[in-house]
Structures are given as structure tokens and as C-alpha cells.
């Protein structure tokens, strides 16, 4: 079973809607981190170029990646005018600390 990590950096206002939509896709785990940053178009007139964002990391099987990306992109476009980025990275190993096992399940 091939695992991937989908990483999305988005505006904070998308989180509630994204949580609901991911539940409908049966995605039952994600990590959300508060972050600050700027992308291709920083506000050069401000003292601080960075803005508030959230970083979402979701581990999932490769077969779920396309549907997950589509849902993230749809919610991000509806809730914050398309601001943000999404990346998919391979997962070399996945270990569960509680069960001391390796693997997605």
C-alpha cells in the first residue's frame, strides 16, 4: 500500500468547511499547524510581509490523493478566493507510536 502526504497551506477561514468536506470523503485524520508566511505576491508596503495561514498535513493511500486534492482546491477557491498551495509528497515509512507498528492501518 503506497502512502502519500498531502500538504496544504491555506487561509485559516477554510478550516471549518474543509473539516466537514473531508469527513464526507472518510478522511479521518489531519494535522493543522498555525503558520505565517508569504508567497509570490507579498505586501511590500507593510512592515511585515507575512500573513496568517494554516498548514494541513494529511497522510492517505495513493488512491485517495486525487479526490482529496480536488476537495481541498474546491473549498479553498470557494472560501478564500483561491489563495494557497497544495503539495503531495511520498511517504517512505509510516510508524504508529501507540501500537509500535509500521503501516497505514
Mind listing the pLDDT tens digit for each residue in 12-35? 999 999 999 988 888 889 999 999
Cα distance between residue 105 and residue 95, in whole Å: 10
Cα distance between residue 90 and residue 50, in whole Å: 28
pLDDT in the model for residue 56: 97
pLDDT in the model for residue 83: 77
Runs of H (alpha helix) within 9-101: 15-24, 65-80
68: left (phi over 0), alpha (psi -120 to 50) or beta: alpha
pLDDT tens-digit series, residues 31-45: 999 999 888 777 788
Instruction: Place 72 in a pLDDT band, splitting at 50, 70 and 90.
Output: very high
SS3 state of residue 41: coil
CB 4 within 8 A of CB 89: yes
Domains of the chain: 3-102 (3.30.70.120)
Amino acid at each position: 500500500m503506497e502512502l502519500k502526504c498531502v500538504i496544504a497551506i491555506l487561509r485559516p477561514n477554510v478550516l471549518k468547511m474543509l473539516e466537514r468536506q473531508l469527513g464526507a470523503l472518510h478522511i479521518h485524520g489531519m494535522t493543522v499547524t498555525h503558520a505565517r508566511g508569504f508567497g509570490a505576491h507579498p505586501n511590500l508596503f507593510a512592515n511585515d510581509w507575512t500573513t496568517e495561514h494554516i498548514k494541513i498535513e494529511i497522510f492517505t493511500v495513493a488512491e485517495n490523493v486525487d479526490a482529496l486534492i480536488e476537495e481541498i482546491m474546491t473549498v479553498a477557491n470557494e472560501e478564500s478566493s483561491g489563495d494557497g498551495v497544495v503539495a503531495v509528497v511520498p511517504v517512505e515509512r509510516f510508524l504508529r507510536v501507540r501500537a509500535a507498528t509500521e503501516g497505514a492501518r
